[in-house]
Structure 1
Amino acid sequence: MESGAKEEEKVMGYNSKNVKKATLHSTLTALLDDPILADVPKKPSLSDVDTLINLELGSAMCISILKLDGTSFGTHFMVYHLVYALKPPSN
């Protein structure tokens, strides 16, 4: 009987909120240290993750804008934003 109680206690300890959070944190840290994912921010927001997923799926675009003074910046946007910007509003 005691071994069953210990086993149940071990399972309950594994399912605790702190253990799950630590496991998630270590997994995210390992993923973010991957050189392939170098463009992902260290603490990504939900919108960052959503944009990166859409970039992979082809429903978002990444553009770099080069100014005349030699500086540049990059931005990401969803393809449907471009469609709405180009389409005139219809009545």
Structure 2
Amino acid sequence: MEMNHKLFDECSQKYKLEKQKEKEKLRDRDAAWTKIESKARQNPNYKVFAVNQPELYRPTYNDDDDGGAANITAREIEQEAKEVRKRNSLT
């Protein structure tokens, strides 16, 4: 079976970028919740309210669920894209 390397490389790059954006979005969301929780703790009525509430579920996300594939930086992705373009222009 023959494979289109250019298409594969482009799809791989898009996938890595999307995964990285998803991770950043989750980190931003988590940071926002942490900030909100911190503000809530500063409220004088927080202890009264917190005593009457059960523990709230807050999911934690494992950064290693993709085997580290999304831990690539934007600069590395751009460099990889340049190399792919260069290879494709030579063929």
TM-score (norm 1): 0.28
- Specify the structure having the higher radius of gyration (Cα): 1
TM-score (norm 2): 0.28
Q: Compare the two structures and name the one with the higher strand fraction.
A: 1
